[in-house]
Amino acid sequence: MTVNAREFDVIVIGAGPTGENVAARATKGGLSSVIVESELVGGECSYWACMPSKALLRPVTAVAEAKRVAGAREAVTGAIDVAAVFERRDRFTHNWEDSSQVDWLNGAHIDLVRGQGRLVGKKKVEVSSGDGTVALSARHAVVIATGSEPAVPPVPGLRAAKPWVPRDATSAKKVPPALVVLGGGVAGCELAQVFRALGSQVTIVEMATRLLVSHEPFVGDLLAEAMRAIGVDVRVGVAVKSAARSNGGGKVTLGLGEGAPVEADEVLVAAGRRPRTHDIGLEAVGLEPGNWLDVDDALAVKGVEGDWLYAVGDANGRALLTHQGKYQARICGDGIVARAKGNLDGSAWSKHQATADHVAVPGVVFTDPEVAAVGLSLAKATEDGLRVRAVDFKIGDVAGGSLYGDGYTGCARVVVDEDRRVLVGATFVGAGVSELLHSATVAVVGEVPLERLWHAVPSYPTISEVWLRLLEAYGL
């Protein structure tokens, strides 16, 4: 039953970080906007992904770092206080309550309709909830910002074994005595370290030959070494073949392609994501439900006439990261305003084109050691046909690194495009490297020539001096 019909300039489906940002930019540009949300305003990132996982990791890395500094090490005598860690995490997730984000929407003059949003035609969305149905129509644009959800691989018995997905791990109230993590990607590695530090016996099973396999090869090797040093059983190049939970919610046993089966109290599936696009009415506008939404650089969905349907964030599959989705959202929101005024700038690197998606996506893995990378790995650059050269340097050999922690272990690599003499990629592994990453992102996005980068002098004695050593190693 339709109880309400309303018209806005822009309708955004999904109030995660990307949906909020599209609506904010559209509203700032003078358009009216409404957000449709079926769960909590703030999305996966605020309640089940980035914020809780980083809140859980921070005490773990803080303790690990203190233990690597003689003098400080002696002050760290007890175990991590698990209850305090969970309590701090709960503060960051506002106890899974979204009133502060709703206040933010109100302050930004963005309307909110709660319920499940579905496209029902061109520029038309229906929202259903326990209170009935709201029919929304858009004068200019509809933006899909519905995010992604965990993909559970088709391993026999796995679904029946009631596995954890990242949400269960990031909102956990108890630490399982034994945890097996299926997947050695970003979420799998981060959460494996959390639960190991909080007291679980942890096993990671990864099908690829390395952890974090899409990064430079030394990343997975250094991380596996660090994981093993804290007692994580890392099994790479091993596939999970079967899963079974013993009667009455007992232990889970995973049968592996190689080696003995693993038994644990919980199995965490962190084996990739799929788009949350299967129940949003894509078929009503001629698109296939359940797929990543293919977009152009203005974030307009390809194959839809008239440039009125957009997709930002995880839903378009370009980069499953909050900051990159928010970048797309700013581009998209500004672009919708510009299109409404007839002055969209379609040139690369304009304010209306998400050009950085193709060349400079930064990402941090908040493990100990941290991993921070932007742009292309050596393998990817070579595969793309670039004439490149990689230069490596051990961060422990930089004064700032050795001061940061005794026996500092870490490595940096830059990938240089030999034809243009600019950086196309950079990777850092080591404690405290996440804050180095933006310098590399600026260098890649700015296409700063190596000869000019030479004049960017890093302070002494900081870890950033690795920049100088890398350029010297290159031959400057």
Nearest CB to ligand FAD, comparing residues 54 and 139 = 54
Residue 320 binds ligand FAD (CB under 6 A): yes
Per DSSP, which regions of 66-153 are E strands? 111-114, 116-121, 124-129, 132-144, 148-150
Q: How far apart are CA 275 and CA 299, in angstroms?
A: 16
Residue 163 binds ligand FAD (CB under 6 A): no
Residue 434 binds ligand FAD (CB under 6 A): no
Judged by CB under 6 A, the stretch of 10-18, 242-250, 300-308, 427-435 that binds ligand FAD is 10-18
Minimum CB separation of residue 343 from ligand FAD in Å reads 27
Cα 298 off chain centre by: 21
Residue 158 binds ligand FAD (CB under 6 A): no
Residue 36 binds ligand FAD (CB under 6 A): yes
Residue 45 binds ligand FAD (CB under 6 A): yes
385: phi then psi, degrees, rounded to nearest 5: 85, 15
Nearest CB to ligand FAD, comparing residues 132 and 250 = 132
Q: Hey, which residues does 126 pair with through a beta bridge?
A: 118, 135
* Binding residue (CB under 6 A) for ligand FAD from 117, 185, 405, 430: 117
Q: How far apart are CA 372 and CA 174, in angstroms?
A: 30
CA of 73: how far to CAs of 68, 70, 397, 406, in Å?
6, 5, 22, 10
Residue 325 binds ligand FAD (CB under 6 A): yes
Residue 321 binds ligand FAD (CB under 6 A): yes
Give the pairing of strands 309-311 and 132-144: parallel
Per-residue contact track with ligand FAD, 168 to 197, x per CB under 6 A? --x----------------x----------
Q: Hey, which residues does 240 pair with through a beta bridge?
A: 256
Nearest CB to ligand FAD, comparing residues 314 and 465 = 314
Do 418 and 390 meet the contact criterion of CB atoms below 8 Å apart? Answer: no
Nearest CB to ligand FAD, comparing residues 54 and 380 = 54
Minimum CB separation of residue 16 from ligand FAD in Å reads 2
Residue 166 binds ligand FAD (CB under 6 A): yes
Do 312 and 18 meet the contact criterion of CB atoms below 8 Å apart? Answer: yes
Residue 328 binds ligand FAD (CB under 6 A): no
Question: Would you call the peptide bond into 156 cis, given omega within 30 degrees of 0 as the criterion?
Answer: no
Q: How far apart are CA 14 and CA 36, in angstroms?
A: 6
> Where would I find the H helices in 139-185?
166-170
Name which of residues 287 to 316 contact ligand FAD (CB under 6 A): 313-315
Rounded to the nearest 5 percent, the helix, strand and coil shares of the chain are: 35, 25, 40
Per-residue contact track with ligand FAD, 226 to 265, x per CB under 6 A? ----------------------------------------
* Binding residue (CB under 6 A) for ligand FAD from 27, 33, 101, 146: 146
Residue 54 binds ligand FAD (CB under 6 A): yes
First and final CA of the chain: distance in angstroms?
A: 71
> C-alpha angle 149/154/160, rounded to 5°?
85
Write out the residues near ligand FAD by the rule CB under 6 A: 13-19, 36-39, 43-45, 49-50, 53-54, 116-117, 145-147, 166, 170, 187, 276, 280, 313-315, 320-323, 325
